[in-house]
């Protein structure tokens, strides 16, 4: 049967790899190409790159570095960050990325989802939704790298986005991001049960047991790891790594 995919999710700010905490401060992780080589050797399932400040800093994706990254990888790759039109999406897909991730652009122009899907297939479009708990209970969708609050309800937006042709959803909990405290399995499950497309849980992984929880409780089809794969442990130094496959398997039974 299909394994639950475990995807290192690496944050790019222009040409450097970084890691944020709660969408705020970040630390340097290293050179993207070098890091990709390490993940290649570790034979990770899939790799995801997000240029988190591209939209806010009004930058377009750096095709040169994406090309270099794609040249190094022998596993599926997805990219998100500053993708606003189908042309850019197509270019990135053609240089060796399997999937495009769009967030703010999908909110501003949902037809973009359909445009990309029509040309390259639904499975090539991942819509990323950043969610935060609201003080009134419930969750709210944010855009622009978590800087702008929208009026969207995550579950309804997820359903809408599926209708528009998204192949997958990347659900990121802003509250949990970088905290090592575990995923927000409540919202992950709510969304996963509302749609028929795969959901990738993101934000908060701190231990291998969190992977199990996201799959079993959150009903996620895949799990994204951020801090866990770039730091030795919480509060300690940068060290690119990947959870032991045998230990993960035990969690997922």
CA end-to-end span of the chain: 12
Q: Which residues are catalytic?
A: 130
Closer residue to other proteins, CB minimum distance, 1 or 253 = 1
Residues in the chain: 253
Least gap, CB of 143 to other proteins (angstroms)? 26
Closer residue to other proteins, CB minimum distance, 15 or 57 = 15
4 in Cβ contact with 208 (< 8 Å)? no
Q: How far apart are CA 172 and CA 221, in angstroms?
A: 14
Q: The dihedral of CA 170, 171, 175, 177: what is its sign?
A: negative
Least gap, CB of 181 to other proteins (angstroms)? 20
Where on the chain is the footprint of other proteins (CB under 8 A)? 1-3, 5, 15-17, 27-32, 34, 37-38, 40-41, 43, 45-46, 68, 70-71, 73-76, 93-96, 98, 119-124, 167-168, 196-198, 221-222, 232-233, 236-241
Least gap, CB of 20 to other proteins (angstroms)? 15
Closer residue to other proteins, CB minimum distance, 122 or 216 = 122
Query: What angle in degrees, to the nearest 10, is found between the helix axes of 86-94 and 111-120?
Result: 30
Short-list 243, 251, 161, CA closest to 206: 243
């Amino acid at each position: 049967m299909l394994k639950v995919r475990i995807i290192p999710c690496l944050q790019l700010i222009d040409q450097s790899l970084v890691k944020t905490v709660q969408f705020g401060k970040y630390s340097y992780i290293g050179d993207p190409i070098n890091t990709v080589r390490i993940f290649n050797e570790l034979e990770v399932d899939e790799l995801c790159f997000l240029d988190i400040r591209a939209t806010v800093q009004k930058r377009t994706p750096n095709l040169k570095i994406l090309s270099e990254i794609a040249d190094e990888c022998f596993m599926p790759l997805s990219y998100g960050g500053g993708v606003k039109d189908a042309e850019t999406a197509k270019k990135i897909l053609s240089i060796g990325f399997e999937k495009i991730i769009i967030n703010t652009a999908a909110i501003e122009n949902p037809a973009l989802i359909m445009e990309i899907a029509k040309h390259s297939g639904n499975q090539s479009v991942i819509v990323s939704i950043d969610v935060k708990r609201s003080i009134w209970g419930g969750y709210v969708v944010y855009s622009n790298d978590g800087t702008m609050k929208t009026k969207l309800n995550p579950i309804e937006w997820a359903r809408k986005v599926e209708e528009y042709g998204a192949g997958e959803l990347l659900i990121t909990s802003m509250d949990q991001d970088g905290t090592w405290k575990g995923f927000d399995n409540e919202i992950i499950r709510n969304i996963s049960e509302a749609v028929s497309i795969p959901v990738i849980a993101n934000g908060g992984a701190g231990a291998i047991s969190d992977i199990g929880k996201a799959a079993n409780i959150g009903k996620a089809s895949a799990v994204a790891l951020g801090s866990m794969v770039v730091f030795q442990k919480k509060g300690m130094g940068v060290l690119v790594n990947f959870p032991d496959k045998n230990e993960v398997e035990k969690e997922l039974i």
